[in-house]
């Protein structure tokens, strides 16, 4: 079974510092593998242990993503591929998904792509589904469990308060929740092996990516402002009337705020 896992390197938010204006100080911020992506790696490794095959991890980002890929190799991934090119800079989720999708096409002949549900910094949960769309793969999202007979993949899917089992033929793309497993502690022999492995760096031309879909220019969304919403505290309004009238008033207020 050939499994590709996409991993994102994110700032370690437990070490975040803020400047006097309340802005995040990014300089010197330590980075980690997006936590749920470690569960994606673990899910892939467990499938490989049952069915044989290989696990390939890929990450798009600046040169420093090598350390995230090296950590994934330490966990037991067989190969790592780094996507680094100035042409990828400023990518929104679609341009990110496109670049990763082109790399996955280049790797080719895969059975499964596994991603985390969402990144802890961007939090859009869009990259997995967009890659599935770009690659024309069935999408099995929010996996709490994953099983395979070597030809099909079946997941236990979390949908709010409900769960269900769904399956698809290979090749398919699965996004996993952190509850899916507990990831392994890296064994010492894997650490030594991991540091002997070469990590190829692929640029846009290597994955036949078209410039028009890459980076800031290829990004359909434009970031206008990032801010913390002001939370109004302590405002209580008493509603009066019959239960039906009060329910109607509550519904109107939620509607006004686009909450229903
Ligand atoms: C207009 C615009 C410009 C932007 N410019 C920049 C910029 O210059 N620099 C910057 O750092 N960010 C930039 N961003 C943010 C960037 O687009 C997102 O961080 C990125 O697309 C991933 O989205 P997300 O974090 O919401 O991931 P999600 O969709 O929440 O991630 C889901 C899963 O997808 C996979 N994944 C996501 N990203 C990657 C990756 N890079 N490599 C491998 N796997 C991945 C992981 O498995 C992850 O668990 C920009 C966003 C916009 C809208």
Tokens of residue 33, six digits: 């593998």
Q: Which atom of ligand 1 is nearest to the CA of 223?
A: 1
- Is ligand 1 within 6 A of the CB of residue 31? no
pLDDT in tens, 155-211: 999 898 899 999 999 999 999 999 999 999 888 888 888 999 999 999 999 999 999
* Residue linked to tokens 């790696």: 41
Q: Tell me the C-alpha distance between 256 and 249, whole Å.
A: 10
How far apart are alpha carbons 81 and 84 in whole angstroms?
10
Ligand 1 pocket check for 10: Cβ under 6 Å: no
- The pLDDT, as a whole number, for residue 68 is 97
Q: Which CATH class is domain 2-213?
A: alpha beta
Across-strand partners of 154? 147, 167
Mean pLDDT of the chain, nearest integer: 92
The predicted pLDDT at position 13 comes to 74
Higher pLDDT, 197 or 227: 197
| CA–CA separation, 167 and 196 (whole Å) | 38
Q: Is the CB of 91 within 6 Å of ligand 1? A: yes
> Does ligand 1 come within 6 angstroms of the Cβ of 224?
no
For ligand 1, atom 43: residue with the closest CA: 59
**How far is residue 140's CA from residue 236's CA, in Å, rounded to a whole number?**
42
Helices then strands, counting H and E runs in the chain, come out as: 6, 11
pLDDT-derived band at 225 (thresholds 50, 70, 90) equals confident
CA-nearest residue for atom 9, ligand 1, is 90
Other CB atoms closer than 10 Å to residue 249's CB: what's the count? 14
């Amino acid at each position: 079974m050939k499994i590709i896992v996409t991993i994102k390197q994110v700032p370690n938010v437990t070490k975040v510092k803020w400047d006097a204006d309340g802005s995040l100080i990014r300089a010197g911020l330590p980075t980690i593998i997006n936590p749920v992506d470690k569960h994606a790696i673990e899910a892939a490794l467990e499938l490989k242990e049952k069915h044989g095959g290989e696990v390939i991890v890929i990450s798009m980002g600046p040169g420093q993503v090598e350390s995230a890929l090296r950590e994934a190799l330490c966990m037991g991934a067989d190969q790592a591929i780094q996507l680094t090119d100035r042409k990828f800079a400023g990518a929104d989720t679609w341009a990110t998904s496109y670049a990763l999708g082109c790399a996955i096409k280049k790797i080719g002949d895969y059975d499964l792509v596994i991603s985390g549900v969402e990144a802890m910094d961007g939090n859009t949960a869009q990259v997995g589904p967009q890659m599935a769309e770009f690659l024309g793969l069935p999408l099995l999202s929010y996996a709490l469990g994953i099983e395979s007979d070597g030809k099909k993949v079946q997941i236990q899917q979390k949908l709010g308060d409900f769960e269900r089992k769904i399956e698809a033929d290979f090749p398919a793309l699965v996004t996993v929740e952190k509850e899916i497993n507990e990831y392994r502690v890296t064994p010492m022999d894997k650490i030594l092996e991991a540091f002997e492995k070469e990590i190829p760096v692929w640029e846009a031309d290597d994955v036949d990516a078209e410039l028009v879909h890459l980076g800031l220019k290829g990004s359909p969304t434009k970031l206008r402002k990032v801010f913390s919403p002001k939370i109004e505290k302590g405002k209580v309004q008493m509603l009066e009337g019959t239960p039906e009238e009060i329910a109607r008033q509550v519904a109107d207020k939620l509607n006004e705020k686009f909450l229903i």
